[in-house]
Amino acid sequence: MTKNGKFDGLANVTAGATAICTVGKEGTGLTYRGYSIEDLAGQARFEEIAYLLLYGELPTEQELNDYDNRLMSLRGLPAELKAVLEQLPGTADPMDVMRTGCSVLGCIEPECTFDQQYRIAERMLALFPSILAYWYRFHRDGIRIDTESEERTVSGYFLHLLSGTKPPALHQRALDVSLILYAEHEFNASTFAARVAASTLSDMYSCVTAAIGTLRGPLHGGANEAAMELISRFDSIEDVEPALKTALARKEKIMGFGHRVYNVSDPRSPIIEGWSRRLADDSGDDRVFRISKEIETVMWQQKKLFPNLDFYSASTYHYMGIPVPLYTPIFVCSRVSGWAAHIMEQRADNALIRPTADYVGSEERSFVPMEKRHKAHYG
């Protein structure tokens, strides 16, 4: 539990069982429901993955078609939610908007029985891109967008809402793959937060709200935005090495590198790097990609640290023209599929998650009445 006498964040602790995902332990690679991430990212689309995570099996063509139609029919924003999104400041952190949007939806369409859990999971999958794009376009462009759309895929739908035009096929597929890669990752911090909330038999919205708040931090989902901020600091490749050496000497964390579970590489990273490269080539300006490559090289030379999924997701989103503050909310739009699958799995075989702690505080002592307390005790 501890490393050098310090809390190690439950590293290598098995905190439960799951049939949803493996993350490379005991000789396995990254798999969702038994399928390798390479096969899924190469051959499937995000809606198939969401279905697989929630229902346990890949959909047939008919099932996928029906699922697409269902998700498309659930994209409409309730008027009360629109009103809240309009009232939130345009300067708010978009992750706070997602967290609030999820919570407000729970007030408007509450989960009254667990029989509603699949429908609510699908509603969130369908609606989260609408929430993000509606708030963003209202405050940036001063318009109320129509969130109904003919776009069948979540990726095409989101990009279309964001720009107001049909996205290029290459961008749509790049985002689609990114959503697949972000969909699920076993007992990561946000999923674990969702499962802790689920273990109290709380409602789906509360579980997902807890997960969004947990994903927000730069050690977790927020790393993709922090990675882009780092990449953007450099004008040329020559600037990278000295700046990183200085940062590492100061013991700064370089976001988008390292992983709690993986030791030598993150299997998702080469896949998203390939997409970053393709988009860079397509754009005719590969400077951001080349700077990213140089950061990767220096991090390996200096610290033997490898890029995780968040690092090349940053340049991939950059080449699609997605604003940086929306990077982590896009992660939410995808990971909600994994969170929902875990919430359902937790509910199906539940025990309250309530660990214990080693006590390191003062020894037991007598209560001090007010008149006998001296300022010195309390600084």
> Could you say which of 308, 313, 328, 346 contacts ligand COA (CB under 6 A)?
308
* Total number of residues that touch ligand COA (CB under 6 A): 17
225 makes contact with ligand COA (CB under 6 A): no
* 189 Cβ contact list (under 8 Å, min separation 6): 214, 215, 217, 219, 220
Q: Of residues 160, 171, 185, 259, which has the active-site annotation?
A: 259
CB of 220: closest distance to ligand COA in angstroms? 6
* C-beta atoms surrounding 172 within 10 Å: 21
- Contact flags string 81-120 toward ligand COA, x per CB under 6 A: ----------------------------------------
Scanning 61-69, 218-226, 290-298, 366-374 for contacts with ligand COA by CB under 6 A, the matching segment is 218-226
User: Count of residues for the chain?
Assistant: 379
Scanning 255-263, 285-293, 346-354, 358-366 for contacts with ligand COA by CB under 6 A, the matching segment is 255-263
1 makes contact with ligand COA (CB under 6 A): no
257 makes contact with ligand COA (CB under 6 A): yes
Tell me, yes or no, if 220 is annotated catalytic. Answer: yes
254 makes contact with ligand COA (CB under 6 A): yes
**Of residues 324-363, those binding ligand COA (CB under 6 A):** none
Scanning 29-37, 92-100, 160-168, 219-227 for contacts with ligand COA by CB under 6 A, the matching segment is 219-227
Interior CA angle at 171 toward 170 and 177, to 5°?
A: 90
Tell me, yes or no, if 310 is annotated catalytic. Answer: yes
216 makes contact with ligand COA (CB under 6 A): no
Q: Which two tokens stand for residue 123?
A: 């509603």
Q: Which residue lies nearer to ligand COA by CB, 272 or 279?
A: 272
Dihedral over alpha carbons 276, 38, 259, 308 (to 10 degrees)? 0
Q: Residue 100 and residue 11: Cα distance in Å, rounded?
A: 31
Q: Residue 321 and residue 11: Cα distance in Å, rounded?
A: 37
270 makes contact with ligand COA (CB under 6 A): no
Q: Of residues 68, 176, 310, 342, which has the active-site annotation?
A: 310
Helix axes 327-348, 94-108, angle to 10 degrees: 40
301 neighbors 173 (Cβ within 8 angstroms): no
Q: Residue 362 carries which DSSP code? A: P
Tell me, yes or no, if 171 is annotated catalytic. Answer: no
Distances (CA, A) of 98 to 123, 159, 216: 14, 17, 10
Q: Which residue lies nearer to ligand COA by CB, 17 or 249?
A: 249
Per-residue exposure over 51-86, b if at least 16 CB sit within 10 Å of its own CB, e if not: bbbbeeeebeeeebeebbebbbeebebeeebbebbe
259 makes contact with ligand COA (CB under 6 A): yes
Scanning 46-54, 109-117, 252-260, 333-341 for contacts with ligand COA by CB under 6 A, the matching segment is 252-260
Q: Residue 123 and residue 46: Cα distance in Å, rounded?
A: 16
Residues noted as catalytic = 220, 259, 310
**Which residues of this protein are in contact with ligand COA, per CB under 6 A?**
9, 11, 219-220, 223, 253-260, 303, 305, 308, 310
